[in-house]
Structure 1
Amino acid sequence: MYIPDIYKNKNQEEIINFLQKNSFGILINQNEGNILATHIPLELEVTENGKQFLEGHISKENPQWKTFESDNQILAIFSGPHSYISPSWYDHENVPTWNYIAVHVYGKVKVLNYQETILSLKKLVDKYETNSKNPVRIEDLSGKTMRQAQGIVAFQIEITSIEAVKKISQNRDKKNHQNIISELEKTEDYNACQIAQEMAKNKK
């Protein structure tokens, strides 16, 4: 991913936090020149020694998983808030642009066995059931329901590199930076307000 130096995010703690909060990504690889992509949750795992993995699963009916053995190179794309930035918000003439936050993760994928698949599903369900009034647990599901797990392919991606971009008007002076924050907040749009919050955290 092309990232001008001013917009590169090298804060590892911030990147990990972003991936944990924005885990619905796009899994991309290729097979004989054909680009394959699937929108799925991809959960970040960090081992005690600091090694990083992504875990996820797709339907067995999805042909993408059949390419994992022939070419294990994977790209996962994660998007955060984004918003249009109007040049009318500056105190000088300029061009429109877009502020956004995104992370590209590169790695090597391997298919998990059935026991590993169930463990991966348990971690996924436990994470997203935390705030449920009546949380569902994999351990409590019937054998009949759990037979559906045979219809998925779970996998683990060993992360080899990460590229992170955070384009939030770092190239603007203090006055225009604050103007952009104020105008974004006025829109009351969720993404715009999230970008405004990120800009406020990095106030000049």
Structure 2
Amino acid sequence: MFIPKLYRSEDYDLMRQLISENAFALLISSTEKIRATHSMMMLNEDDPEHMYVETHISKANPQAKTLKDGDEVLCDFLGAHAYISSSWYDHMNVSTWNYEAVQIRGNVQLMDNEELYQHLEKLTFKYENFQKCPVMVKDMGRAFVEKEMKGAFGLKIIPTEIYIKQKLSQNRKDHDFQNIISELDNTDENGKKIAAKMKLIQK
């Protein structure tokens, strides 16, 4: 991911937020050919000094059939994003797009059965916990879950490079910056999210 210095962030709290809120991300690999799978991802910080991304895909997925320990993959997380119209400036300029994104490049470690079970427990808790009648992994019974696990391919991605990008019109003068916020506040949910982010960093 190309990140001009103006848009580069080293804020790991922002990274955590973007991953948590945009967990259905792309797992990209290039073994044999370029492959990409949307999958649910979580940041594991049980050991803060050695955090990693964990996920699972179907064993029937061709990507699962090619990945092995040590292979390099890329996890791509896209946060809020919004179109910025050229009509929102007080001068002639081109339109663009504001957005937040995280990319984590890392090496694969395949999960064993116990690691996959724990991964599914945590993932299910995160999304079931707020349901009216939550069904946790423990409620399903170990035998049932382990039977279903036979079709899952669990993996950990150990980061080698982390990229955090916040492109929020930081290159615009104050008048245009404020006008972009005003216009975004009158658009869709993504636009409102970007406007809120811009307010946090405004000069």
Inter-partner Cα distance in structure 2 for 1:47 and 1:119: 12
Q: C-alpha distance in 1, partners of 2:47/2:70?
A: 28
Distance in 1 separating the partners of 2:119 and 2:64: 16
Once the two structures are TM-superposed, the CA of residue 47 in structure 1 deviates from its matched residue by: 3.0
Indicate conservation of the 8 Å contact 2:69/2:110, yes or no.
Answer: no
Identity, % of aligned positions = 40
Partner SS for 1:42: strand
* 2:171 aligned residue: 171
Q: Distance in 2 between matches of 1:85 and 1:144?
A: 49
How many residues end up aligned between the 2 structures?
202
- The residue type paired with residue 12 of structure 1 is Y
Instruction: Decide whether aligned partners of structure 1 residues 167 and 61 sit closer, same or farther in structure 2, where only a CA change above 3 A counts.
Output: same
SS at match of 1:27: strand
Partners of 1:52 and 1:84 in 2: how far apart? 33
What code does the residue aligned with 1:54 have? V
Normalized against structure 2, the TM-score is what? 0.94
SS in 1 for 2:104: strand
Residue 70 of structure 1: CA displacement? 7.0
Partner of 1:40: helix, strand, or coil? strand
The Cα shift of 1:50 comes to 2.4
Q: How far 1:145 moved relative to its partner? A: 5.5
In structure 1, C-alpha distance between the alignment counterparts of 2:71 and 2:44, rounded to whole Å: 19
Normalised TM-score (structure 1): 0.94
Tell me how far apart the structure 2 counterparts of residues 102 and 144 of structure 1 sit (CA, whole Å).
37
Q: Matches of 2:116 and 2:11 in 1, distance apart?
A: 31
Displacement of 1:146 in angstroms is 4.4
What's the CA shift for 1:193?
0.8
Deviation sequence 1:157-194 (CA, Å, 0-9, x none) = 1111111111000001111111000011112x011111
Residue 47 in structure 1 maps to residue 29 in structure 2: no
Deviations 1:14-35 (A, max 9, x none): 1122112211110000122x10
Aligned-pair CA distance for 1:71: 5.7
Change (3 A) 1:76 1:168: same
**Unpaired stretches in structure 2, ≥5 consecutive residues:** none
Greater shift, 102-111 or 10-19, is seen at 10-19
Q: Amino acid of the residue matched to residue 55 of structure 1?
A: E
Q: 1 CA distance for matches of 2:70 and 2:149? A: 25
For 1:155, the equivalent position in structure 2 comes to: 155
Q: What is the distance in 2 between the residues matched to 1:156 and 1:177?
A: 40
One-letter code of the match for 1:58? I
Deviation at 1:114, TM superposition (A): 1.1
Unaligned runs of 5+ in 1: none
Structure-1 separation of matches of 2:129 and 2:196: 26
In structure 1, what is the equivalent of residue 8 of structure 2? 8
Instruction: State the one-letter code of the partner of 1:162.
Output: I
Deviation of 1:66 after TM superposition, in Å, equals 2.4
In the alignment, the residues of structure 2 paired with residue 19 and residue 177 of structure 1 have an alpha-carbon distance, to the nearest angstrom, of: 27
Structure 2 CA distance for aligned equivalents of residues 63 and 139 of structure 1: 30
1:117-171 per-residue CA deviation (whole Å, 9 max, x = no partner) reads 1111001001111211111111110434641111111111111111111100000
Q: Does 1:132 align with 2:131?
A: yes
Q: What's the counterpart of residue 117 of structure 2?
A: 118
Letter in 1 for 2:161: S
Alignment correspondent of 1:22: 22
CA distance, structure 1, for counterparts of residue 16 and residue 149 of structure 2: 28
Is contact 1:31–1:71 with CA below 8 Å preserved after alignment? no
Kindly provide the amino acid, as one letter, of the partner of residue 44 in structure 1: L
Match of 1:76 in 2: 75
